[in-house]
Amino acid sequence: MLTGPFGYTGAYITQALLAEGVPVLGLTSRPQPSDMSSVTVVPCHWGAPVAGAESLRGAAILYNTYWVRFDRGTTTFELALSRIRMLLEAARTAGVARIVHVSVTNASVDSPLPYFRGKGLVGQIVQECGIPYSIVRPALAFGSGDILLNNIAWFLRRSPIFGVPDGGGFCVQPIAAEDLATLVLGQGQADGNQEVDAIGPETLTFWEIVRLISDAVDGSQWLLPVPDFMALAATHLAGLLTGDVVLTPDELVGLRMNLLTSNAAPQGAR
Interface residues with ligand NAP (CB under 6 A) are 3-4, 6-10, 28-30, 44, 65-68, 75, 102, 104, 138, 140-141
CA atoms within 13 A on the CB side of 246: 20
Beta carbon nearer to ligand NAP, 34 or 220: 34
Q: Which is nearer to ligand NAP, 208 or 225 (CB)?
A: 208
* In contact, 188 and 126? CB cutoff 8 Å: no
CB closer to ligand NAP, 25 vs 68: 68
CB of 29 to ligand NAP, least distance (A): 3
**Identity of the residue, 45 or 236, whose beta carbon is nearer to ligand NAP in the bound complex:** 45
Residue closer to ligand NAP (CB basis): 104 or 232: 104
Nearer to ligand NAP, 41 or 156 (CB): 41
Secondary structure in 3-state letters for the chain: CEECCCCHHHHHHHHHHHHCCCCCEEEECCCCCHHHCCCEEEECCCCCHHHHHHHHCCCCEEEECCCCCCCECCECHHHHHHHHHHHHHHHHHHCCCEEEEECCCCCCCCCCCHHHHHHHHHHHHHHHCCCCEEEEEECCEECCCCHHHHHHHHHHHHCCEEEEEHHHCCEECCEEHHHHHHHHHHHHCCCCCEEEEECCCCCEEHHHHHHHHHHHHCCCCEEEEECHHHHHHHHHHHHHHHCCCCCCHHHHHHHHCCCCCCCCCCCCCC
Nearer to ligand NAP by C-beta: 138 or 163? 138
For residues 197 and 137, give the distance between their C-alpha atoms in angstroms, rounded to a whole number.
Answer: 4
* 27 neighbors 195 (Cβ within 8 angstroms): no
Minimum CB–partner distance for residue 78 and ligand NAP (Å): 13
Residues in the chain: 270
